[in-house]
Amino acid sequence: MVRLSATDVARSFSSVMNRVDAGEEIEIVRNGVPIAELRPAPRRRTISAERWRELLATAPAVDDDFASDVARAREATEPADGAWPS
């Protein structure tokens, strides 16, 4: 892991971000004491719009009981905690 001072990171922030984006991990120090680590964020898996359309086209059809199936599944789970209603 590369070690850079907070001052060096501030002076060349864009360059440091490019290095992190390329996979490098950087430890940031202030007065020789580690204060933070920069590392690449986990890459999200995505699919193309074309592949999404293919998946939708091959998905099973929703039957007449779908709404009641969802309602039963929701009733079987505990209420969600937090600010977002389920």
Domain regions of the chain by residue span: 2-38
Q: Looking at 17-31, 37-51, 69-83, which range is the least confident one?
A: 69-83
Q: Looking at the domain covering 2-38, what would its CATH class be? A: alpha beta
Which pLDDT score, from 0 to 100, does residue 83 have?
64
The DSSP secondary structure of 33-73, one letter per residue, reads EEEEEE-PPPPPP---HHHHHHHHHHSPPP-TTHHHHHHHH
pTM of the model: 0.53
50 CB burial (10 A radius; 0-12, 13-18, 19+): exposed
Range of 10-24, 46-60, 70-84 with top mean pLDDT = 10-24
pLDDT grade for 21, boundaries at 50, 70 and 90:
very high
**Dihedral in degrees, nearest 10, Cα atoms 60, 65, 71, 72:** -100
